[in-house]
Amino acid sequence: MARWAYTRQFISSLGSASPRLSAARTRSTSARACLDRVRRGVERSPDIAQPAPPAHLIGHASRAVGRAVIEHGWLIVLVLLVAFGDPLGGWSERIIAAKPSHDAQARGSQIRMPASESTGEMILPLTAVGAGRRSVAQPLPVAPIAPAQSIPLEISDAFREVHLLEGGETLGDLARRYGVSLPSIIWSNGLDRGDALLLGQPLRIPRISGVPYVVTDGEAVGDIAARFGVVPDAISAFGPNHLQDGRDLAVGEEIFIPGGDPPLPDLLLAQGGLDALAARGAEPTGIVLEDETNLREGPGTDYHRQIQLDHGRQVALRARHAGWLKVEIAGVAGWIRVDMLQIASGLVDGLPETDDFPPPPPRWVWPTWGTLTSPFGARWGAFHNGIDIANRAWTPIVAARAGRVREAGWCSGYGYCVKISHGGGVETIYGHLVTKPSVAAGDEVAAGQRIGSMGSTYDRVGGGYSTGVHLHFTVLVNGRAVNPLTVLP
């Protein structure tokens, strides 16, 4: 029915496009008559499968087709192919849709045949030139399903973002959230020194696990790769390093080492290992304001210094006492004066008060100032049991350490002198004062408190002697003289 109508339209259109086809139609009346009989047989019952055409009709049509092929070649074959194939595949509808214009035929353009949905075949292109060429049915090439192409992204930074640390977050949480190793986060943010974490502290999150590295003079990619145990291409091919063009490294440049995993410092691992590091989060923190800030053993300058901290270091705040804060950094606990730290408002008041610290250790100060004219040890064929410090008369003399005055006045050999007991078997002697001391036996004195003035008195009967204004200073430990320079600051 409809398909035969398309076939007639196809034959008519080809006839109008080619004079040779018109002639072929005239000379092949017998063949067309046979085809019309076949068509009418199909149209009588389009919904019921029809029996094959009678043998004598098929034979007559075959002979007509043979004569047509001899005279008109491929064009007649195409007409017959369309006519017989129409009931099966609807060829005429497809070919009419692809019929070229007269202009296209004149230019030798190709006729593109759509593929049959049922057979998966297509007709090779036809051209207006070379009508003797034959059209051959070929399998339709099936395009393979192309995999999704991954277009490299232009990445300018080794870090995907800067994360602001929130309350309740830990370093382990960040490592799991962003899919990188815990050491990568530690190395990327300078946390290997053991500093405290500040609430809202910006933390660089690397795109992949690895370690940043600052290039030093004379280093090449191969040197750095060997140091971190990675292949050089891992560094050169990593986009944010911008080394794909083979350029030289610049001194001071920070590059990223993918897969680099240097061991963490012992001072970090000693505080509970990786599990303790992963559990670290934001806590009350102070920032050191000046370089060489002392971390002391107790809340006062009399306490010994443990370490010195540089500007910018972050210490965890633990407790407070009289203008001093107990802090912790890198596993070391100590005390820093509150005015040496930058601290958020209200944090200090929220810290607990504490008296849990040792008593201050003995503090030594120089007993006077001037020129050291005679050292401790052998002198003039005898033993000098102290040091001599010379200056002008009446130069102040002070107690070198806190204690109780055991003797003050005229002393055998020393002239005017002061002797102070400091406890623990330690005693100091101050000889050759210009006049009677300003303290008396039994007085409690503090380190640095004035006890007299420099002079040149001596007791000849007691074996003493003085050649000029100076202070003779002796330190005894359990009655034995020690070099004062070993205890003076």
Q: What is the DSSP string of 71-121?
A: HHTHHHHHHHHHHHHHHHH-HHHHHHHTPPPHHHHHTTPPBPPPPPTTT-E
* 177 and 241 share one domain: yes
Residue 473 counted as domain residue: yes
What's the number of domains the chain is made of? 4
Q: What span, in angstroms and rounded, lies between the C-alpha atoms of 186 and 408?
A: 62
Q: Which of 278, 297, 318 lies at the terminal end of a domain, its last residue?
A: 278
User: How are beta strands 470-477 and 480-482 bridged, if at all?
Assistant: antiparallel
Q: Are 64 and 41 in contact (CB under 8 A)?
A: no
Same domain, 243 and 325: no
| Same domain (yes/no): 7, 134 | yes
pLDDT of 441 above 60: yes
Residue 75 has a pLDDT of 53
pLDDT score at 246: 87
Q: How far apart are CA 334 and CA 146, in angstroms?
A: 66
Domain presence at residue 145: no
Asked, for residue 356, whether it belongs to a domain, the answer is no
Q: Decide if 388 is inside a domain.
A: yes
Q: Answer yes or no: do 411 and 299 share one domain.
A: no
Residue with tokens 């092949």: 28
For residue 429, the enclosing domain spans 371-486
Cα separations (Å) of 9 from 87, 93, 372, 384, 388?
15, 9, 128, 136, 133
What is the DSSP-derived secondary structure letter of residue 282?
B
Angle between helices 29-43 and 55-72 (to 10 degrees): 140
**Residues 164, 131 within the same domain:** no
Residues 260 and 295 in one domain: no
Q: Are residues 393 and 472 in the same domain?
A: yes
Residue 221's CATH number: 3.10.350.10
The CATH number given to whatever domain includes residue 459 is 2.70.70.10
Angle at the Cα of 376 (from 373 to 378), degrees rounded to 5? 100
Query: Is there a domain that residue 451 lies in?
Result: yes
The DSSP H or E segment spanning 390 is strand 387-390
Q: Are residues 269 and 250 in the same domain?
A: yes
The model carries a pTM of 0.54
Q: Could you tell me if 330 and 431 lie in one domain?
A: no
Query: Do residue 375 and residue 325 come from a single domain?
Result: no
Asked whether the beta carbons of 65 and 31 are under 8 A apart, the reply is: yes
**What value does the mean pLDDT of the chain take?**
80
- Does 119 or 458 have the greater pLDDT score? 458
Same domain, 93 and 54: yes
Among candidate residues 228, 245, 278, the one where a domain is terminated: 278
Q: Is the pLDDT of residue 29 over 60?
A: no
Number of helices (H), then strands (E), belonging to the chain: the values are 13, 25
Of 278, 294, 316, the last residue of a domain is: 278
For residue 430, being part of any structural domain is answered with yes
Q: What is the pLDDT of residue 111?
A: 38
Across the range 348-377, mean pLDDT stands at 93
| Among candidate residues 419, 489, 406, the one with its CA nearest the CA of residue 452 | 419
